[in-house]
Amino acid sequence: MGPEYMRTFIANMPKAELHLHIEGTLSPETILRLAQRNGVDFPYRSVEEIRQALAARPAGLEGFLDHHYLRIPLLQTERDFFDMTFDLLRSCKENNIVYTELFFDPQVHTSRGISFGDVIEGIDRGRRSGAEAFGVEANLIMCINRDRSVGSAFEMLDQARPHRRRIIGLGMDSYEEGHPPRKFEEVYSQAREEGYRLTAHCDVDQTDSVSHIWECLDLLNVERIDHGVNTIDDPDLVEEVKRRKIPLTTCPIWRSSDPAPQDTDRIKSLFDHGVLVTLNSDDPAEFDSGYLTNLIAGVQQASDYSKGDLVRLARNTFEASWLPLEAKNAYIEDLHAYAEANGVETT
């Protein structure tokens, strides 16, 4: 099967996505519009300048985040959060994503004086209007910024309490170096008592990545790991992740300077070991991999996944979701109907 055939197969396949940061979806055009609307002095003045700055940023998590956070002051009002979420669900529709769980970072907004209420109201309204307009179902995961204090994370839980039913889970992201998962053990324990589903980022090739993943399992009791590619470095961890059926939301993104999608060999190896691997786009406006169809098409070429493998990966994502069992099974049935109509046997 040629690359164009596979791309079409991927494009038309009903998909889910579980690792997608709303704040990582501002296109250059949206950035310029928001800068004007809110009178924010963004350092880059044209689509071309924004693209060049993206291409020139240093490699790695810190280089990414330093650049990512420049965009945050553009978001000022409830309407901005609404527009961002509504636009994202339109992009999901264009990618045949039928279900998604979206990350948002309350602390980067509340620390600028924007109320938690405005943030969640805009995002949740965008989520509901987007579902109506595009038929894309979404749930929300709020992330602790792990480089901030434990007190600040508890404060976020307090602020979220009146909105508890609008938020399905708790995650953790931002700068990982020096901020191990154990720092937030008590916050996770409290969140579990409040009924949140739990996940956490363990970004790729950080200092102590493997022990961070163990801490997430043993101290935070997470149900998923975001990224988690370094699981492959420890055979006992591979076995434990399989035993506990912990999904990994991997993000084999690429930048313009990368020769290929990142980490594909390790991801394929985890997949071959039977780990519940899923493919996700992370911050699609900030990587050349973009949205999910394009990302999976690049990964398929790099790792030579068959159509059956691609269906398995898509099924993993529905299985790894926090949907009720019945809804999960309904999506998986639709996926299997698509697979069988395209000559892929399912069991």
Q: How far is Cα 227 from Cα 219, in angstroms, rounded to an integer?
A: 18
The residues that bridge with 142 in the sheet, in sequence order, are 104, 170
Strand order in the sheet with 97-104: 15-21, 97-104, 137-145, 169-173, 197-202, 224-227, 248-250, 277-279
The CA–CA distances, whole Å, from 246 to 69, 226, 275, 291 equal 30, 10, 8, 24
Q: Which is nearer to Zn ion, 49 or 205 (CB)?
A: 205
Task: Count residues binding ligand ADE (CB under 6 A).
Answer: 11
Check residue 23 for interaction with Zn ion (CB under 5 A).
Answer: no
Q: Which is nearer to ligand ADE, 9 or 249 (CB)?
A: 249
Check residue 203 for interaction with Zn ion (CB under 5 A).
Answer: no
- Output the DSSP codes for 187-225: HHHHHHHTT-EEEEEE-TT-TTHHHHHHHHHHTS--SEE
Chain positions 15 to 44 lying near ligand ADE, rule: CB under 6 A, are 21, 24
Binding mask 184-223 for ligand ADE (x = CB under 6 A): -----------------x-x--------------------
The residues that bridge with 202 in the sheet, in sequence order, are 227
Q: Which is nearer to ligand ADE, 14 or 247 (CB)?
A: 247
Q: Are strands 224-227 and 248-250 parallel, antiparallel or unpaired?
A: parallel
User: Any residues with CB less than 8 A from the CB of 201 and at least 6 apart, and which?
Assistant: 143, 146, 171, 172, 173, 176, 225, 226, 227
Q: Which of 95, 174, 278, 289 binds ligand ADE (CB under 6 A)?
A: 174
Q: Which is nearer to Zn ion, 157 or 172 (CB)?
A: 172
Part of the chain binding ligand ADE (CB under 6 A), chosen from 60-68, 72-80, 111-119, 183-191: 60-68
* 46 residue type, one letter: S
* Minimum distance of Zn ion from residue 333's CB (angstroms): 29
Residue 228 near residue 199, CB atoms below 8 Å? no
Q: How far is Cα 207 from Cα 104, in angstroms, rounded to an integer?
A: 25
Residue 203, contacted partner among ligand ADE, Zn ion, none, CB below 5-8 A by kind: ligand ADE
Chain positions 253 to 312 lying near ligand ADE, rule: CB under 6 A, are 282-283
Q: Is 43 helix (H, G, I), strand (E, B) or coil?
A: coil
Part of the chain binding ligand ADE (CB under 6 A), chosen from 61-69, 111-119, 314-322, 323-331: 61-69
Task: Count residues binding Zn ion (CB under 5 A).
Answer: 1
* Minimum distance of ligand ADE from residue 238's CB (angstroms): 22
Binding mask 261-300 for Zn ion (x = CB under 5 A): ---------------------x------------------
User: Any residues with CB less than 8 A from the CB of 308 and at least 6 apart, and which?
Assistant: 339, 344, 345
* Minimum distance of Zn ion from residue 9's CB (angstroms): 26
Where on the chain is the footprint of ligand ADE (CB under 6 A)? 21, 24, 61, 65, 68, 173-174, 201, 203, 282-283
Where on the chain is the footprint of Zn ion (CB under 5 A)? 282
